[in-house]
A and B are shown apart, each in its own frame.
Chain A
Amino acid sequence: MTVTRWVATFAAICLGFASAAQAGPTLDKVKQAGQISCGVPTGVAGFAAPDSQGHWAGFDVDVCRALSAAIFGAADKVKYVPLTAQQRFTALQSGEVDILSNNTTDTLQRDTALGFNFAPVVFYDGQGFMVPKKLGVKSAKELSGATICVQPGTTTELNLADYFRANKMEFKPVVIEKLDEALNAFFSGRCDVFTGDSSALNANRLSQAPNPDDYVILAERISKEPLAPVVRHGDEEWNDIVRWVVYALIEAEEKGITQKNVDDMLKSDDPNIKRMLGVTPGAGKALGLDEKWAYNEIKLVGNYGEIFDRTLGKDTELKFDRGLNNLWTKGGLLYAMPIR
């Protein structure tokens, strides 16, 4: 009996027993428990991985920390539940976690048939291919006949099949659930190619390859992968909170509010900043949160840019470019709705 099967069986049973009253108030449940149950990846450098002391850190983790800060005024009221790509959806459906911050691609099927709602996109990604340099492959179009390691239960798995079909090429998938096992298989030569979101590929290459320089990520991006936090469909209040917590991170960067200067910003004359930081009350009440919700987020976790730099960007080994994940004013796609 594998873990997945247990989780899925358990989730199926939970769906049977879960009481109907649990529908709306995820916020009540979270407040009562005193913590948010947050589903994160099982370990992708930069996105979510436990550090040497066992504390979870990374981009996905900070999204949950920001949510915790907004609700509790403390960033550490989070229980991290590492979930594989296959386990995550049943875990959210059954109420085992309150939010998925799990590099999940926003798609129509998941939004509708799986019964979810997606928060705003926090990371714009695209699927790529990682290959050993010594194969001498220059383009994804040369990959016909390749053996490709992929994780199941991802959009990656489907895009892969679509791409090869569209280009009339053959491939042999080797589908391995655990990311570590899949990467081991690739690095030991079981597969010619490892495919996934290109940002994660790069993180895997730098953190797990025996020698990162032996591998390259091909230039082609074969899909759009807008990664967003996910909540259950049907609890609009909770959905709103997650949505605006994310927008506040982006808006703060746009307004130049940082972890350092947020206290000074309380004295700002900009009415937008006043509304956001709760100097002019209203936003917090509308969300059912403390008026200091956005202030706490920024004070305790930082704005979007700070989180990015700290976990993925220039302050890290990964050195990701902001690229599409820059503010709309700087040529990126990040655009927060007005907080008013």
Chain B
Amino acid sequence: MATDTIRRPARPPLWRNPAIRGLIYQILFVAAVVAVGAFLVYNTVANLRRQNIASGFGFLDREAAFGIGESLIVYSPADTYARAFLVGLVNTLYVAGLGIVLATILGTVMGIGRLSSNWLVRKLAQTYVETFRNIPLLLQLFFWWGLLREIAPAPRQAWRPLPDVFISNRGITFAVPSPDPAYNWMAVAFCVGIVAAIGVSRWARRRQARTGQQFPTGWTGVGLVIGLPLAVFLAYGAPLALDRPELKGFNFVGGHAVSPEFAALLLGLVIYSGAFTAEIVRAGILAVSWGQTEAGMALGLKPGQRMRLIVLPQALRVIVPPMTSQYLSLTKNSSLAVAIGYPDLVSIANTAINQTGQAVEGIAMIMAVYLTISLIISALMNIYNRAVALVER
């Protein structure tokens, strides 16, 4: 055979083979990283032992013995450190989740506002963005917190803008409906309504594609989402017992209270992140060429339809990836809560670290939690991004 006659060059030594050399480098690199990591862990453990500092996660089962100002789940100082961490995690997720929703709404409004043809709206939106984007978040938090604390009166002189709503330097206290089985079923009805509305809109789209006939999807959806819970509410005989706040001793008892710390943190996060979101939204909309809008006009689409059907789907492709970063930074910024006394994860972990002295474990837990939250947000946003991304054929 011909190949036999060609003298193959002598095989080069292993280290001159680029593939093998690359492999060796990679193995060496990984080994070095592992070695440094192992050294750190070993040395830390050795140092902790030598200094007689307790280590391990056993402390999580011990009684925390410190109080926490606000908690969405039941907690008392007799609960464990693990429970205290959970309270902090829930508080962090609560403020971050609410913050993300509100910052998105505010940012979208402001972003569209910056492109408004109305001079006043445009300038107001611009002023907002340029002001709040350029002041450090921590300062803004102190500002809002100080404002809420200093301006509002003491509980005994609380403002009462509406019946059963009290504003004082302890926060905003308002009446909430007393627990009733009807409310649980209303929540179920609400979810059913959402699912049904999505179903209707899919059916309507298919029908339009087939027959060209349009269906008032929007109004049907609103009807389903609001109407179903309302029907349940009425079916239960409209229970309207209120849990009213009452001034008892030092403070209001009953109702629901939003503390100045929570309000300041939420306000700060929403306004700060909203300014960045506004710029992202504006960039996204501007990225869609004007020709697309003109084409929409030529087809006779109304302005709302043009935005919804032509511009927004294309703008979202530009908007979603930077929005992911924005959501991540909002979540992580919520840890600034520690400065103004809102008991978020970091604040509670700091206390736990201090009372137990187990800084390594505490910091590791904080990092693991933020990493997990961030990866989950990233993953969700990536799924959404894939859904809105340009489908190439």
> Which residues of A are interface residues toward B (Cβ below 8 A)?
1-2, 4-5, 8-9, 11-12, 15-18, 20, 23, 85-86, 89-90, 93, 109-110, 112-115, 135, 143-147, 152-153, 157-158, 160-162, 164-165, 171-178, 181-182, 184-185, 188-190, 192, 232-234
Contact = CB atoms under 8 A, between A and B. Distances in A.
Contact of B355 (A153, A165, A185): A153
Contacts of A233: 51-52
Given A5-B366, A113-B53, A145-B248, 6 more contacts: A5-B338, A16-B41, A152-B351, A158-B66, A178-B339, A190-B169
Contacts of B340: 176, 181
B54 interface: yes
B355 A109 contact: yes
Contact of B149 (A4, A23, A189): A189
A308 to B, nearest CB: 29
B261 interface: yes
Given A12-B359, A175-B69, A20 B46 contact: yes
Contact of A114 (B339, B341, B357, B364): B357
Given A146-B251, A152-B351, A113 B66 contact: no
B47 A20 contact: yes
Contact of A2 (B70, B261, B336, B354): B336
B393 interface: no
A105 to B, nearest CB: 12
Nearest to B339: A2
Interface string B238-274: 0000000000111101000001110000000000000
A332 B153 CA distance: 45
Contact of B65 (A2, A89, A162): A162
A114 B355 CA distance: 9
A126 B154 CA distance: 29
A234 B50 contact: yes
Contacts of B341: 174-177, 181-182, 185
A165 B359 contact: no
A165 B170 contact: no
A12 B363 contact: yes
Nearest to B252: A145
Listed from nearest, the 6 A-B pairs whose CB atoms lie closest are A153-B354, A114-B357, A115-B53, A161-B77, A113-B54, A115-B51
Given A20-B47, A177-B339, A189-B154, A15 B360 contact: yes
Contacts of B260: 190
B43 A16 contact: yes
Interface residues of B, number: 58
A41 to B, nearest CB: 15
Contacts of A20: 43, 46-47, 50
Interface in B323-355: 335-336, 338-341, 343, 346-347, 350-351, 353-355
Contacts of A16: 40-41, 43-44, 47
9 contacts: A5-B363, A8-B359, A11-B359, A113-B54, A113-B356, A114-B357, A152-B354, A161-B67, A181-B340
A8 B362 contact: yes
A192 B247 CA distance: 14
Nearest to B138: A2
B51 A145 contact: no
Nearest to A157: B66
Given A2-B336, A172-B69, A8 B353 contact: yes
B65 A181 contact: no
B68 interface: yes
Given A145-B249, A147-B250, A158 B150 contact: no
Nearest to B51: A115
Contacts of A165: 76-78
A62 B315 CA distance: 65
Contacts of A18: 43, 47
Contacts of A115: 48, 51-54, 357
B363 A8 contact: yes
Nearest to B65: A158
A86 B70 CA distance: 20
B351 A153 contact: yes
Nearest to A23: B50
Contacts of B249: 144-146
B36 to A, nearest CB: 10
